[in-house]
Amino acid sequence: MTFLHSQLLHSQHGVVTLRQALTVMSRGEVRARVRSGHWQRPHRGVLVTHNGPLSPEQETWVCLLAAPPGSALAGPTAAAIDGLRGFASDTTWIAIPAEQRKLRRAGVLAIRTRHLGPDDVHPQRTPRRTRMERSVLDMGSRAAAPSAARIPVLAAVQQRVTTPHRLLDALTRLGHRVHHAVLLETIHDAGGGVHSLPEREFDRLTRRRGLPPPARQRAVRRPGGHYYLDADWEEFDLSVEVHGLPHLEVCNWNSDLDRHNELTIDGRRLLQFTSYAVRHQASRVAEQVERGLRRGGWRR
């Protein structure tokens, strides 16, 4: 019984494997505790040392201990434990060694992989889980659309739970994956913020549409300081900002709104686009810019 009050039991939130329990008691004793209702067996080979509802942490441990040896929590499940906010999921993500059997349990997304070494999995932390960079890239590569693949990458950098450099190292090591090109460009965007967007991309977009060239990085001075507009047509009262790194934090959002308000007070219209939209939704961006210019009096 010493084992059942040990650091292991505490760290696993009262969830143990049958093999762990058999190190301190007989199979008959384990069976008796389950049959009497003092313990429960939510999955073959996994025991919970109480008879009440499982907490989210206990459910996570059940899924991990039910998985094949060498498995690790992955994706948003792992990332949330290490501090990434905003990606809560009812599904438990688990990375499973490619050669092992697939885990069959409701509420589990099993990812087969050959990359579960120390570069991908924390060697010491419990529960065993993939590192933040791997977790974020797995989330991005399993996104339903390229635009959605950007979100976990940008959020992770914005929340300072990883860095673009570390994400780039991980992506390079893991090799080609779904949405690889978008993940790569998003990492570069996150590393440089708004100024990481090459000017030639927006310039090419406006030239193809036959629009007048904008002024670049025009400084706008205000009592609280000054800021720069990515593209500005002063004579047509139109400005454009392109965001490489979305401002997810409240303080940055407030700053964005304040800047937008100042421009509006001066009678200027401000259009805002993501770098993804400039690259991959160029027609829509160009159409909106042209409408904004026409509203300001521009004619071909």
Domains by residue range for the chain, with CATH? 1-53 (no CATH), 197-295 (3.40.960.10)
Residue 250's pLDDT band, with cuts at 50, 70 and 90, is very low
pLDDT in tens, 21-48: 988 889 999 999 999 999 999 999 999 9
Residue 221: pLDDT above 80? Answer: no
pLDDT at 194: 41
Q: What percent of the chain has pLDDT over 70?
A: 85
For the chain, give the mean pLDDT. 86
pLDDT at 219: 72
pLDDT in tens, 157-170: 989 999 999 999 99
Residue 133's pLDDT band, with cuts at 50, 70 and 90, is very high
Least confident range from 38-42, 68-72, 98-102, 208-212: namely 98-102
Q: What share of the chain is helix, strand, coil (3-state, %, to 5)?
A: 45, 20, 35
pLDDT at 196: 46
Q: What percent of the chain has pLDDT over 90?
A: 57
Which residue has better confidence, 250 or 249? 249
pTM for the full predicted model: 0.73
Which residue has better confidence, 145 or 244? 145
pLDDT in tens, 57-77: 999 999 999 999 999 999 999
Packing angle of the helix pair 164-174, 180-192 (nearest 10 deg): 160
The average pLDDT across 268-274 equals 85
